[in-house]
Structure formats: C-alpha cells, structure tokens
Amino acid sequence: MSYLALARKYRPRRFEDVVGQDHVVKALAHALAGDKLHPAILLTGTRGVGKTTLARIVAKCLNCEIGVSANPCGRCSACVEVDQGRFVDLLEIDAASNTSVDDVRQLIDNAQYAPARGRYKVYLIDEVHMLSKSAFNALLKTLEEPPPHVKFILATTDPQKLPVTVLSRCLQFNLKRLPVAVIREQLGKVLDAENVPFEPGAVAEIARAADGSMRDGLSLLDQAIAFSGGQPLAHSGVEEMLGTSGRDRLYELLRALSAGNAEALREGLQALDAQAPDYAALLSDLATALQRIAVLQMLPGARSEDDDEALLALVPQFTPEHVQLLYQIAVNGRRDLPWAPAPRIGFEMSVLRMLAFQPIDGEAGVPTPSLGRGSAQAAATGADAAGSAAHSAAADLPWEARVAALPLDGFARQLARHCAFIGQEGNLVRLRLDVKLRHLLVEERRAALEAALSQQAGRALRVEIEQATDETLPTPAQLAQQREIERQRAAETTMQADPVVRAFQEQFGARIRPGSVRVLDS
C-alpha cells in the first residue's frame, strides 16, 4: 500500500476535529442542525487552514444516510465515499483550471438534475476568484436561486477579487490563520499517534515555519520525519532542514547590538558564516524578532508561551526608538538583498548599519551623534541670538522681562503679555493693546496688572491701556512667538544639513516628517 501523506491521513473528518476555526464551525453546525444551511456559502482564508476540509464535512452532513445534521455517522456509504473523494454528488471544481464561461454553463446545466445518490448535490468551487468575468456573470442567477437540491460552497484565498454581486449572494465565513500554539499542539498529537519521539523545540520550529497553515505544518512534519531517518525528531535537525539554524545566533547579534559591542558582533557574524545559513530567511527572522520585542515593550500583556526566553531577555535591553530603527534597517536590508553582491554581504551590511546608527543618550528617535542634546542646544542658542538681533529695541526687552517676572496668572497675565510698552511718565505706565484683542481688557484685569507693576516697582503706579491697530510695537507674546519660530527654523536647518540624516535620505529613501523636529530646551 502506498504511503499516505500526513496532511491527508490526519485531515479532519468531523467538525469536532477542526482546530482553530470555532467561529466558523459553530455557525455551520447550527445551520446544519436544522437543515437551514444557506444555498451558497463562501469560505475565505489563506492556504491550508481548512476550507476544503470544511466543505467536505458539510457535504457529509447534508448527505449522511441517517439524516441532515451537524454530526454525520462517518460509517454509511455516503460518508465513506466523501472521505475517499469519490462521492458522485460532491463535485469539486478547480476554478483555476476551469475559468471559462463554457465550464460554468456546463455546471449550471448539470445542476438542474437531481442528485444521483445523495440528498443534495454539492458543488465545491475552489479558488473561485480565478473565474473570468463572463463566468461570474453566468453563475449569478443560479447562485441567487439555485434548485432546492443544490448547495454551492465557494472557496478562495483572495476574496477581494470576487465581484460584489457574487459576495452579496453568499454567506461568507472567514477562516483565521492558525496560531503557532494550535499548530504545535496538533503536530505533537500526530507524532504521538505515529509513535515518533520528538523534542518540543523541534515541533515549535515546524509550527513557526508553517506560517499559520496546518497543512503546511503537516507537510513539513512529513519532511522532518524523513530527514531524521528514523531517529527522534531533534530541534537542531529541524533547524538544519528549514535553514533556520542561525536563530540562536541572531539573538547573540541582538545582544551585541544592544551593548554596542563591535567585537561580539564580529564573532557572531563569523559563527553564522560557518553555518552557511539562508541569509534571506535570517533577515526575515531578525525583523520578526525585532517586531516581537517592540510589541512586548509597548504591550507587556501580549506575552505568550511562544516567546523564547532568549527573546524575552532582550526586551529591556533596547529603547523603543532603537528597536524601531533596527526593524526598519532589517526590512530595507531584506528588500535590497537581491541587489547585494552576495546574500552574506547584504546581511552583514544590514547588521553593520544597525551598529553604526544608534540613538545617543536615550534621545527619542535621534540616530547617531548627529543631533544629540548638545547639537540641539547649539541650534537653540543660535536661534536665540537671531531672535535677540531681530528685536533689539531696549524698551521692548526691559518690558518683556518685567512681564515675565510679574506674579500674575490666567487672563491678567494674558493681558500683560499682549500689551506693547509705549512709555512711562513718572508714575504713569502707558500700554497699547491690539484692538483685535480688546476682549482681554477688563477693568479687574487692568487693576491686577497695575497692582502687580506697583509691587514690582516698590511704589504706586498707574496703568493706562489704549486700543489701536498699530503693530509697530511688539508685545511680549509676539517676541516670544518670533523667537520660537526662529528657533524652530534653525533646528530644522541643522537637521536637514546633518550628514547622517542626509545619508538616511539617500540610502533608505527616508524623509523628515513635517512638524516632527522639536527644539530641546537648554
């Protein structure tokens, strides 16, 4: 007897055997329990998550000899023939090979005839999005009003390509990508059933490589069993088979990057080269590890049993900004890898970029020493000098300093900051307020300003405030605003001229987000 692949041998034959898709199983089971299944259902999801499997179980539920229910007997001729793929009233059609309108018309013509053996004639159209536009149009009427003995089950990995007219006629179920833990648990059960000893790490590695697909996981398990040659399934052997044997080395590289240790980084790269790994896969694994670190930093509650202890130890070793930078370099390195002279060179250059570009002194989002605290202070100092030169009138600056020192708050302080100083004659202080801000001029605020100025001067003063549209005399608020504008311009100019920032723009297509540059206070 020929060998039966694990993906076929352990294909679920009942709803209870389907894992990770409870939301779909529950809805279908309830509909079948009352023989109220919609005449056209659409199953969507990535490859290997159970679309065809569910369709076959539904076909058994509809045609089991004991009656329509969510629990087919599995022993009658109808159930056995569905499991064996030879039930005459279950017609599986590959839309990728039968895309034309003529194929669909033949299907429609056959649908009018009663089932040959079963209760319902079930049409399973796989990868339905591959049908031509004219084929979809021909199918619409039958989908909307099928014969009472016909059920359509459409399956696709790309529902976005389906016409809205088709979607509106179907009851849609979205199958999820399976979590690593679910795949790992199922693979362990299969290995136990096959009497194959295994290391837990080996099964976890296969589950990660399955990328959400149970079928892919079982196919990789088949390959791993053959690779082991009758020996227990070992973690190291699975890593060698998958080309992921450098994952532990990746954690060593990340530890070296977190410490800025160039020597440890060199040793890690040499150790990786000795293993001759798949460098494209390693860059992807590196980006995945960095993404997981970022998640655990921002969302500590997201920790799961699938997180390696070595990865968890790295979480506090990086700042969130550093992780974001490293992730971007890893993703760009993966994109540019085909253009590198060799995969190893492309990988090493990506890692060396990670070492070269690091935040300094915990400054958020600031790579390398190009614009650390000292540079930002220098930019701010230059802006201060420019601001002072632009408004050097002595009367404006003693007045601004006096307002800053007044013990005022709220609207009384706003009134003082928006008044321009005209002059002082004896005990009379004359101020001017822009007529557009006349709502600030309330007698109690003027009196509060007068009392504060008197307290500051150590003698009784009188304050007169006139309203005008003359803007030649700047107010303290205007002076402060102008200085901030000039400080911001100076900081942006410094950032734009920084050589490392320019290198990021040229090498990675980076850009400075408008409004993201902030001047640091000295």
Query: What type of residue sits at position 173?
Result: F
Tell me if 294 sits within 8 A of 323, measured CB to CB: yes
Every domain range in the chain assigned CATH 3.40.50.300: 6-174
Every domain range in the chain assigned CATH 3.30.300.150: 392-473
Tell me if 19 sits within 8 A of 182, measured CB to CB: yes
Burial class (CB in 10 A: 0-12, 13-18, 19+), 193: exposed
Model confidence at 277, pLDDT cuts 50, 70, 90, reads confident
- Indicate the SS3 state at residue 90: strand
- pLDDT, residue 451, reads 92
Sheet architecture: strand order including 428-434 = 419-425, 428-434, 462-468
Beta strands in 110-165 (DSSP E): 121-126, 150-156
Q: What is the pLDDT of residues 132-152, one digit of tens each?
A: 888 888 888 888 888 999 999
- pLDDT, residue 211, reads 86
- pLDDT, residue 358, reads 67
Considering only residues 513 and 429, tell me which one the structure prediction assigns the higher pLDDT: 429
- pLDDT, residue 522, reads 47
- pLDDT, residue 180, reads 87
- Tell me, what DSSP letter sits at residue 198? B
- pLDDT, residue 28, reads 94
Considering only residues 382 and 165, tell me which one the structure prediction assigns the higher pLDDT: 165
Mean per-residue pLDDT for 172-179? 91
- The answer on pLDDT for 361 being more than 50 is no
Q: What is the pLDDT of residues 396-407, one digit of tens each?
A: 667 888 888 888
What superfamily would CATH give domain 6-174?
A: P-loop containing nucleotide triphosphate hydrolases (3.40.50.300)
Minimum mean pLDDT range among 30-34, 234-238, 389-393: 389-393
**For the chain, what percent of residues have pLDDT higher than 90?**
39
Mean per-residue pLDDT for 66-78? 92
Between CA 367 and CA 374, with CA 373 as vertex, the angle to 5 degrees is: 115
Beta bridge partners of 198: 233
Q: What are phi and psi of 122, to 5 degrees?
A: -110, 125
Spell out the SS3 assignment of 246-268.
Answer: CHHHHHHHHHHHHHCCHHHHHHH
Between CA 516 and CA 522, with CA 520 as vertex, the angle to 5 degrees is: 170
Q: How many CB atoms lie within 10 A of CB 107?
A: 19
Q: What is the pLDDT of residues 76-126, one digit of tens each?
A: 999 999 998 899 999 998 887 877 888 888 888 888 889 998 899 999 999
What is the CATH architecture assignment of 180-242? Orthogonal Bundle (1.10)
Minimum mean pLDDT range among 142-156, 343-357, 463-477: 463-477
Model confidence at 393, pLDDT cuts 50, 70, 90, reads very low
User: What is the per-residue burial (b if ≥16 Cβ within 10 Å, else e) of 453-484?
Assistant: bbeeeeeebebebeeeeeeebbbbbbbbeebe
Q: What is the pLDDT of residues 18-50, one digit of tens each?
A: 998 999 999 999 999 888 999 999 999 999 999
Distance between terminal CA atoms of the chain?
81
Q: How far apart are CA 461 and CA 442, in angstroms?
A: 18
- pLDDT, residue 247, reads 67
- pLDDT, residue 99, reads 73
Q: Which bin fits 517, alpha (ψ -120 to 50), beta or left (φ > 0)? A: beta
User: What is the per-residue burial (b if ≥16 Cβ within 10 Å, else e) of 17-46?
Assistant: ebbbbeebbeebbebbeeeebebbbbbbbb
Q: How far apart are CA 453 and CA 286, in angstroms?
A: 64
Between CA 204 and CA 53, with CA 22 as vertex, the angle to 5 degrees is: 80
- For residue 489, CA distances in Å to 368, 375, 483 come to 21, 14, 10
- pLDDT, residue 245, reads 65
Tell me if 404 sits within 8 A of 433, measured CB to CB: no
Every domain range in the chain assigned CATH 1.20.272.10: 247-356
Tell me if 114 sits within 8 A of 149, measured CB to CB: yes
- The answer on pLDDT for 424 being more than 50 is yes
Model confidence at 246, pLDDT cuts 50, 70, 90, reads low
Closest CA to 125 of 215, 44, 71: 44
Q: What are phi and psi of 487, to 5 degrees?
A: -60, -40
Rounded to the nearest integer, the mean pLDDT of the chain is 84
Model confidence at 376, pLDDT cuts 50, 70, 90, reads very low
Model confidence at 453, pLDDT cuts 50, 70, 90, reads very high
Every domain range in the chain assigned CATH 1.10.8.60: 180-242
- pLDDT, residue 384, reads 39
Tell me if 32 sits within 8 A of 62, measured CB to CB: yes
The domain made up of 392-473 is a member of CATH 2.60.40.2130: no
DSSP string, 4-31: PPHHHHT---SGGG--S-HHHHHHHHHH
Domain topology for 247-356: Zinc Finger, Delta Prime; domain 3 (1.20.272)
Q: How far apart are CA 122 and CA 295, in angstroms?
A: 45
Query: What type of residue sits at position 105?
Result: R
Q: How many CB atoms lie within 10 A of CB 305?
A: 8
Considering only residues 430 and 518, tell me which one the structure prediction assigns the higher pLDDT: 430
- pLDDT, residue 187, reads 94
Mean per-residue pLDDT for 354-365? 62
- Indicate the SS3 state at residue 299: coil
Q: How far apart are CA 410 and CA 476, in angstroms?
A: 16
**For the chain, what percent of residues have pLDDT higher than 70?**
89
- The answer on pLDDT for 296 being more than 60 is yes
- pLDDT, residue 474, reads 83
Model confidence at 371, pLDDT cuts 50, 70, 90, reads very low
User: What is the per-residue burial (b if ≥16 Cβ within 10 Å, else e) of 215-246?
Assistant: bbbbbbbbebbebbeeeebbbebbbebbbbbb
- The answer on pLDDT for 54 being more than 90 is yes
Give the tokens for residue 327: 């992730």
Considering only residues 220 and 438, tell me which one the structure prediction assigns the higher pLDDT: 220
- For residue 306, CA distances in Å to 208, 240, 472 come to 9, 20, 68
Alpha-helical segments (H) within 367-475: 373-390, 396-405, 410-417, 443-457
Tell me if 373 sits within 8 A of 483, measured CB to CB: no
